[in-house]
Amino acid sequence: MNIQLIALDLDGTLLRSDKLISERTVSALRRCKEKGIKIVLVTARSFLTSIYAKDAVSADLLVVNGGAEIRRGEETLFSLSLPKALAGEIISYAAALPSFYRVTAETDDGRFFVSGCTGRGGPWDYSNAEVRELKAPIDSDMYKLVVFLGDDSDRAALTERYSELAVFTYVGTEATFIAQSGAQKWNGLSIAADILGVSTENTVVFGDDAHDKEMIERCGVGVAMGNAIDSVKSAADFIAKTADDDGVAEWIETYLL
């Protein structure tokens, strides 16, 4: 197979359950880089929480905030944000739902904030967050909002109300991601591949969750992790071992090295 680009989700894929990357995986990706293969990380995480992974594997580009932003080092190459008025409307609507208990937001000027309602659903590390009162005006456009709701019907209502946007709930959690329409991982990866001059037909993508499915379906080779949800496994060309069992490294060693 003529693979020129490796695209990797972070949590549950490149990162083990302890949120670290194994030395075996780092070594395998380093050898791919030596062969001229590009590396792109594609994650719903923010830029700041993705720096460790970027540095560890010397990624060429970062697609962060679920596809809303593309970075090369400190340089932003692409961005797509929610206008502050719309972000404020979404927060007001979500906060009025009965099971609401938290919202976090990634601003397009590099700040991260969390609502004052932080008592439930941990542990969460908000040590670098700006705590904001929900009644305070939103003063910046947003790359993404993550709304925490304790009830399925409230999550369904939020998803339906803003169905024109990029909205999904992380599998197995109470956290719903909301970003501008077009801020999907597949769109971000497509743009990143164009920037690097590589066809997605010559790209292998690794993922585990619903947000990764379209990438896995549409790239040349799609690899689902052993810990992936069933719909992602069904869409994949290969199923690797789990993230904790070095699934990415073993697949690369078997098929690319």
Q: 147 - beta bridge partners? A: 103, 176
Q: Are residues 74 and 189 in the same domain?
A: yes
Single-letter residue type at 36: G
Q: Are residues 117 and 145 in the same domain?
A: yes
Domain stop point among 157, 179, 201: 179
Q: What per-residue confidence (pLDDT) applies to 123? A: 45
Q: Are residues 142 and 164 in the same domain?
A: yes
Taking residues 71-75, report their average pLDDT.
91
Domain stop point among 158, 179, 200: 179
Q: Are residues 56 and 133 in the same domain?
A: no
Most confidently modeled range among 21-30, 81-90, 112-121? 21-30
Q: Are residues 127 and 139 in the same domain?
A: yes
Q: What per-residue confidence (pLDDT) applies to 86? A: 94
CATH number of the structural domain spanning residue 149 = 3.30.1240.10
Taking residues 171-193, report their average pLDDT.
92
CATH number of the structural domain spanning residue 197 = 3.40.50.1000
Q: Are residues 107 and 156 in the same domain?
A: yes
Single-letter residue type at 207: G
Q: Are residues 92 and 162 in the same domain?
A: yes
Strand arrangement, sheet containing 75-79: 75-79, 69-72, 61-64, 38-42, 5-8, 203-207, 221-224, 238-239
Q: How far is CA 127 from CA 37, 55, 93, 118, 252, in A?
A: 36, 22, 26, 12, 36
For a pLDDT cut of 90, what percent of the chain falls above it? Answer: 74
Taking residues 251-255, report their average pLDDT.
97
129 pLDDT band (50/70/90 cuts)?
low
Taking residues 232-249, report their average pLDDT.
97
Q: Are residues 172 and 106 in the same domain?
A: yes
Taking residues 119-143, report their average pLDDT.
67
Taking residues 2-9, report their average pLDDT.
97
Q: What per-residue confidence (pLDDT) applies to 118? A: 52
Q: Which of 202, 195, 192 is nearest to 5 (CA)?
A: 202
Q: Are residues 90 and 168 in the same domain?
A: yes
Q: Give the chain's domain count.
A: 2
Q: Are residues 27 and 41 in the same domain?
A: yes
Domain stop point among 143, 159, 179: 179
Taking all residues of the chain, what is their mean pLDDT, rounded to a whole number? 91
Domain residue limits at 90 = 84-179
Q: What per-residue confidence (pLDDT) applies to 172? A: 79
Q: Are residues 95 and 162 in the same domain?
A: yes
Taking residues 1-6, report their average pLDDT.
94
Give the model confidence (pLDDT) of 207-227 as tens digits.
999 889 999 999 999 999 999
Q: Are residues 200 and 223 in the same domain?
A: yes
Residue listed under structure tokens 């359950």: 17
